[in-house]
Amino acid sequence: MSLKDRINEDMKVAMRAKDAERLSTVRMLLAACKQREVDERIVLDDAAVIAIVDKMIKQRKDSVGAFETGGREDLAAKERTEIMVLQAYLPQRLSEAEIGQAVAEIVAGLTAELGRAPGPGDMGRVMAAAKSRLAGQADMGLLSAAVKAALSAGLAK
């Protein structure tokens, strides 16, 4: 069963259970998927759906911060609930150590390719490789920090 099919089934379950919060979040996710399919005239695979879920989670985390700053704890709580529902559709996340190890492997491969140790100017190259390899498995903030650390450690050697 594809991820999109699972989301559709979850929508039906939420409708039967009369779970309004879960239902609205799942419908919002399906609408975002459908919008992308229509805009780009494609059928989304699981990786593309995971990317959409990641983006929606990031948007909600940003909203939680803004609502808390504005003193709107009711809206922040609603966003946190949506984050919990959306996280169910993501694969198991890698730990910081696993992310660091994967980044080290990517940097080693890039070193062999370039014939030199990559530096801060190669951040985009390393991030592109890391994003394609770890899509949906790693938090992009942690990934970015691991790449920066690996590239700055390469300068110290």
What pLDDT is attached to residue 26?
A: 97
Alpha carbon 99 to chain centroid, angstroms:
14
Structural domains present in the chain: 3-87 (1.10.1510.10), 96-156 (1.10.10.410)
16-43 pLDDT tens trace: 999 999 999 999 999 999 999 999 999 9
pLDDT of residue 156: 43
Considering the entire predicted model, what is its pTM? Answer: 0.77
Please give the pLDDT value at position 43. Answer: 93
Task: Kindly state the tokens that stand for 58.
Answer: 């990031």
